[in-house]
Structure 1
Amino acid sequence: MLTTETLPRHELIGLRVQVVESCDPTLLGCEGDIVMETMHTLTISEGSRARQVPKGVVTFEFALPDGDYVTVDGERLIARPARRTERTRGSQWQ
């Protein structure tokens, strides 16, 4: 189940996200659905265009399906997506 505590261990593709802090001012306010994830970036769909955002220099705010919002430092998400979901105890796959 996707909760505020378990978000970094889950699949992020399909979640709504907004960049709330960044050392690059052009990334602030970037908002949309996550359509792709790599080790160091999230690709966010903003309407008809997609924007690649580096994880390490931003803070994200994710909208969970239950209506809650979670703020996560992008540094916590840097890892290969498959490894990140296995990394923390409590995963059903460990």
Structure 2
Amino acid sequence: MLTAETLPRHELIGLRVRVVESSDPTLVGCEGTVVMETTNILTVRAGSRTRQVPKAVVTFEFALPDGEYVTVDGERLLARPARRTERTGGSQWQ
């Protein structure tokens, strides 16, 4: 189940996201739906426009399906998506 505690271990594609803080001021306020993820980048679509957002320099706010909002430092998401989602036990993602 997707919760605030387990968000970094889950698939992010399809979630609503907003950039709330960034070292690049042009990224702040960027929001939409995550359509693709790589090790270092989230691709966010808002309408017909897509934007690539580097994970390392931003703080994201994700909207969970239950309506809860979760703030995550992008550095916590720096990993290959398949590796990040398969980690269990005593990992930093738990």
**TM-score, structure 2 length as denominator?**
0.93
Q: Report matched runs for 1:35-46 at 5 Å.
A: 35-46=35-46
| Structure 1 consecutive aligned stretches of length 4 or more whose deviation exceeds 2 Å | 87-90
Which residue of 1 is the match for residue 58 of structure 2? 58
Alpha-carbon deviations, 1:41-94, whole Å to 9, x = none? 00000111100000000000000000000000000000000000122428xxxx
Give the aligned residue type for 2:70: V
Please list every run of 5 or more consecutive structure 2 residues that lacks an aligned counterpart in the other structure.
none
State the distance in 1 between where 2:50 and 2:89 align: 33
Q: Report matched runs for 1:82-93 at 5 Å.
A: 82-89=82-89
Which residue of 2 is the match for residue 13 of structure 1? 13
Give the aligned residue type for 1:37: E
Which residue of 1 is the match for residue 67 of structure 2? 67
Please list every run of 5 or more consecutive structure 1 residues that lacks an aligned counterpart in the other structure.
none
State the distance in 1 between where 2:51 and 2:17 align: 12
State the distance in 2 between where 1:14 and 1:35 align: 6
State the distance in 1 between where 2:46 and 2:70 align: 20
**TM-score, structure 1 length as denominator?**
0.93
CA RMSD for the aligned pairs? 1.0
Shift of 1:5: 0.2
State the distance in 2 between where 1:69 and 1:89 align: 25
